[in-house]
Amino acid sequence: MPRHLFVTGTDTGIGKTHGAQTLVHAFRQAGERVAGMKPVASGSARLREGLRNQDALDLQAASDPQPPYDLVNPIALAEAVSPHLAAAREGVTVAWEPMDAAFAALGRDYDRVVVEGVGGWMVPLSDTISAEALPIRWKLPVVMVVGVRLGCISHARLTARAIQADGCHLAGWIANLVEPDMLLRDENVDTLRRLLPAPCLGVLPWRVAPADAALLLDLAPLA
């Protein structure tokens, strides 16, 4: 199995970056050179150095050694909307060349690259490229981050079904406790453990730093 991974989520705003960062730290703690990557990111601030997306900056900071920003996030878009809409409004072409080149460069220099997608599994990046095309093209196993909140069981099962229908390997999933006061939270996680066709790699507590949460992950299914 390839050592690099693709991280997707059951929706936007469910802590996908937190899950990806936690994976980066977990592999680092296992002694690997690891880089985080977010090929396309919308919602970026205009700084002196150029457009910078906070999720991509967080992945860059988690990486060791830290790669150049342009490799972590080769396509940055300003507006915090769906990437295909942001790209069209900003006159940016979302193309494979810069993404392929960045992924190849990271793959040469690191033991493992943790690639984070955008939003959910099928977010359009352009008129011709959709988020699920990234793991398909790069032949990456998928880790799904489940935001544990009302509706998560259906969202997780649908996402898992889509991942498998697209011919990708769902290597595992991470429960992210985004609503600590959720009614029957633990029972929802237990239900997901029974119904999802992949192992649970861990449960991330509310507001625990990725470097600390990494200790809670089981990396064995990703070896």
Give catalytic residue positions.
38
The burial class, CB within 10 Å (0-12 / 13-18 / 19+), for 83 is buried
Structure tokens at 67: 């790669």
Are the beta carbons of 58 and 21 closer than 8 angstroms? yes
Are the beta carbons of 203 and 216 closer than 8 angstroms? yes
What's the CA gap between 186 and 177, in Å, rounded? 10
What's the CA gap between 74 and 80, in Å, rounded? 17
**SS3 breakdown of the chain: % helix, strand, coil, rounded to 5?**
40, 20, 40
DSSP-derived secondary structure letter, 48: T
What's the CA gap between 178 and 181, in Å, rounded? 9
For 180, residues 6+ apart whose C-beta sits below 8 A from its C-beta are 205, 206
